[in-house]
């Protein structure tokens, strides 16, 4: 199985997955998402062509990335604006 | 479009024919019937604000020179360049799986970017943040503060961190000046965790010219914006969420009361954007509609008093 992340849900119907290292976009029906999956959830997926045939939530992977990104955002917020209002 | 003196109108019509484009005078909205190139309405620079404007219409800014607003054709994504005489602002930076933004900016003569806004963290809006930040000195970056877990988002924040750019998460009610442009922040008031609800929405004032950008804000967020009672009136509206029916509620469109609406979407996209119900709503209002799927890159050029719309194709 391959790694993928749910980038966005469009119009409450389509889930846009970014699949693999290169984040190849695949659009699937939200019905195909495993329970508990939403925007920002990492999955392990199997595609046959454009069809999602298997998907499970990678809760551990999701939490790990979320923690890393939260830390980076905290650092960004430290820097503040530089130009004057 | 409004208050055009007859001789001027005649001249425009003649010029329109001379250059082989539609006259652009009769409001005949819809991507299929939009005038291909130019239209020159007169902005009511000194007249009272339209009736739909709230009690305290925001004042115009002093201007000197031209502002070009480029709705760049980046497929099913967003990237809008505001190129003024003393400011350069980029609102969103295209899709993560294309690399069309930097070449466009270079061809438009961009040397530095004063403000780079990522309206929200989806990959069709912040996709080419790293390339843009590497290619140009960027003064300041705004993000909503919402986060996601994609590599695309992580690369974007890595690129900001590696740059010298300032960083800010704007909130509704804040107002900023970038050169002769004023930016009024309309959204978010606070983050809810829903990325679309957190979309940075801004009203740009240049002279008496106004343009409104709401990212992927949807109808619930439009309602929330109106509830805060800012001045949302704008000549140019970028339709929220690529012209999806999730956005552009009748109530919101009425409050904005635009003369021109522009959406960014790819031809034949998977979502059917723009949705017909939104286009019909705009046609009923007599609003001119342009879309990157139909018209390619769309440019609105203004001196702060009048404006014209130029489209890459009709």
- pLDDT tens figures, B22-64: 333 233 333 433 334 444 454 444 444 444 444 345 778 888 7
Q: How far apart are CA B24 and CA B47, in angstroms?
A: 23
Task: Enumerate residues 148 to 207 of chain B having a beta carbon within 8 A of any beta carbon in chain A.
Answer: 148-154, 157-158, 160-161, 164-169, 176-177, 195
Q: Are B146 and A13 in contact (CB under 8 A)?
A: no
pLDDT value at B1 more than 70 = no
Q: What is the mean pLDDT of residues B256-277?
A: 97
Pick from B60, B48, B107: which is nearest to B207 by CA? B60
Q: What are phi and psi of B7, to 5 degrees?
A: -60, -40
Eight-state DSSP code of residue A62 = H
Token pair belonging to B174: 């804040």
Per-residue confidence at B314, pLDDT binned at 50, 70, 90?
A: low
The angle at the Cα of B233, spanning B228 to B238, to the nearest 5 degrees, equals 100
pLDDT digits (tens, 9 = 90+) for B142-163: 999 999 999 899 989 999 999 9
> What pLDDT does A74 receive?
85
pLDDT digits (tens, 9 = 90+) for A24-69: 999 999 999 999 999 999 999 999 999 899 999 999 899 989 899 9
Q: How far apart are CA B135 and CA B108, in angstroms?
A: 14
Tell me if residue B271 falls in helix, strand or coil: coil
Pick from B76, B141, B27: which is nearest to B272 by CA? B76
pLDDT digits (tens, 9 = 90+) for B80-102: 999 999 999 999 999 999 999 99
Do the chains contact at A81 and B168, CB–CB below 8 Å?
yes
Percent of chain B's residues with pLDDT above 70: 82
pLDDT value at B19 more than 60 = no
Which of B48-57 are b and which e, b meaning 16 or more Cβ less than 10 Å from the residue's Cβ? eeeeeeeeee
Q: CA Rg, chain A, in Å?
A: 16
Which residues on chain B are in Cβ contact (under 8 Å) with A3?
A: none
Query: Does the CB of B100 have a partner CB in chain A at under 8 Å?
Result: no
Q: Are B93 and B123 in contact (CB under 8 A)?
A: no
């Amino acid at each position: 199985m391959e790694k993928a992340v749910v980038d966005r849900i469009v119009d409450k119907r389509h889930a846009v997955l970014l699949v693999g290292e290169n984040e190849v976009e695949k659009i699937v029906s939200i019905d195909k998402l495993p329970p508990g999956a939403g925007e920002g959830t990492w999955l392990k997926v199997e595609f046959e062509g454009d069809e999602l045939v298997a998907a499970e939530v990678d809760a551990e992977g999701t939490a790990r990335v979320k923690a890393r990104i939260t830390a980076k955002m905290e650092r960004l917020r430290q820097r503040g604006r530089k130009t004057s209002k | 479009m409004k208050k055009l003196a007859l001789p001027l109108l005649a001249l425009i019509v003649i010029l329109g024919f001379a250059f082989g484009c539609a006259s652009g005078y009769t409001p005949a909205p819809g991507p299929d019937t939009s005038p291909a190139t130019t239209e020159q309405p007169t902005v009511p620079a000194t007249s009272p604000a339209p009736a739909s404007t709230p009690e305290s219409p925001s004042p115009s800014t002093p201007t000197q020179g031209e502002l070009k607003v480029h709705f760049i054709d980046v497929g099913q994504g967003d990237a809008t360049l505001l190129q003024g005489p003393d400011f350069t602002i980029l609102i969103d930076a295209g899709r993560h799986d294309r690399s069309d933004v930097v070449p466009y900016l270079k061809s438009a003569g961009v040397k530095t970017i004063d403000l780079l806004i990522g309206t929200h963290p989806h990959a069709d809006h912040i996709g080419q943040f790293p390339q843009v930040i590497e290619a140009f000195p960027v003064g300041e970056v705004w993000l909503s503060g919402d986060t996601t877990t994609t590599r695309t988002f992580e690369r974007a924040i890595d690129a900001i961190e590696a740059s010298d750019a300032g960083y800010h998460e704007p909130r509704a009610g804040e107002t900023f000046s970038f050169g002769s442009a004023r930016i009024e922040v309309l959204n978010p008031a606070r983050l809810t965790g829903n990325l679309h609800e957190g979309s940075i929405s801004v009203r740009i004032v240049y002279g008496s010219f106004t343009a409104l950008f709401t990212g992927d804000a949807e109808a619930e967020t439009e309602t929330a914006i109106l509830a805060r009672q800012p001045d949302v009136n704008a000549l140019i509206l970028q339709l929220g969420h690529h012209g999806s029916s999730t956005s552009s509620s009748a109530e919101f469109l009425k409050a904005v009361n635009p003369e021109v609406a522009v959406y960014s979407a790819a031809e034949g996209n998977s979502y059917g954007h723009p949705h017909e119900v939104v286009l019909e709503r705009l046609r009923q209002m007599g609003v001119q509609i342009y879309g990157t799927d139909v018209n390619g890159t769309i440019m609105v050029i203004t001196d702060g008093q009048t404006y014209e719309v130029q489209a890459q194709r009709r």
